[in-house]
Amino acid sequence: MGIAKTEIFTEAQNEIALFAKAFGHPARVAILQHLFKINTCVCGDLVSEIGLAQPTISQHLKELKQLGLIKGNVEGTSVCYCINPDVWSKMKQIMTEFLDQDLCDNGSCC
Amino acid sequence: MGIAKTEIFTEAQNEIALFAKAFGHPARVAILQHLFKINTCVCGDLVSEIGLAQPTISQHLKELKQLGLIKGNVEGTSVCYCINPDVWSKMKQIMTEFLDQDLCDNGSCC
DNA sequence: TTGTTATATTGCAATATTACGATTAAAGAA
DNA sequence: TTCTTTAATCGTAATATTGCAATATAACAA
């Protein structure tokens, strides 16, 4: 198929998967890390910073923007991107809750 | 292409992406959550718990196992799966470090 | 042995993702 | 206006992912 059966899962499960998918490509990881480092936004030097073609970077930025993790600001002919702190912290909470699950640790077979 | 250019990214970036990809599908999220809940491992009732066909669940389990996030234990005709706490906490540390990045917050354009 | 049960593997169809060349669009400079 | 720069979009090729029916495998029961 290639298409996930999202109907059979909870909203929460689908949301975790959606955010996780955003980090599921090293280019998007690199973009986000760079945006955190160069906090005063950043324009298209992401293209030279990361070694991918301009349309490719643009596509990755679009995905991150659609999720709300980053914002884009037009400045003349260039566009400034930056982390959207509100969505980032909401996402962080959701992911952390998932990662922090505890094994009740009362013996097991493995 | 469909193939990520992993060579141009750091090991750390690729590792984050690999783990994130594991959570990038709601079925795998559901499997992991269930394994945490039913801590005393779990066999193939994952198939009935989650609403996907047996081969599909088996395939998702294989991916999680390859990453080391879960372990499988053969018990007669059935197989018991459970979280691998060591790999899980290593992964948690890596992901948390990524999620905990801070904006240096000295003004920006967005 | 034969049957049964539980899981893995194979093969394949449908769809998604990644990447980039070519092109377009929009802003500013000359 | 025309040229340049920057970024988005289009189109497309290569590959990956998801899902399942069919089949194989392995352990046990009868």
Confidence class for position B40, pLDDT limits 50, 70, 90 = low
Q: E strands within B51-97?
A: 70-75, 78-83
**pLDDT band at residue B110, thresholds of 50, 70 and 90?**
low
Alpha helices in A26-71 (DSSP H): 26-37, 45-49, 54-67
**What is the number of other CB atoms lying within 10 angstroms of the CB of residue A12?**
15
Which portions of chain A are predicted below pLDDT 70? Answer: 39-43, 104-110
Burial class (CB in 10 A: 0-12, 13-18, 19+), A106: exposed
Q: How confident is the model at residue B44 (pLDDT cuts 50, 70, 90)?
A: confident
pLDDT band at residue B109, thresholds of 50, 70 and 90?
low
Place of tokens 């992401």: A46
Contacts of B76 (CB under 8 A, 6+ apart): none
Give the CATH fold of the A10-95 domain. Arc Repressor Mutant, subunit A (1.10.10)
Strand D surroundings (CB within 7 A): A 1-5, 43-44, 47, 54-55, 58-59, 61-62, 72, 77-79; B 1-3, 21, 24-25, 27, 52-56, 59-60, 63, 74, 76-77
- Per domain, the residue ranges of chain A are 10-95
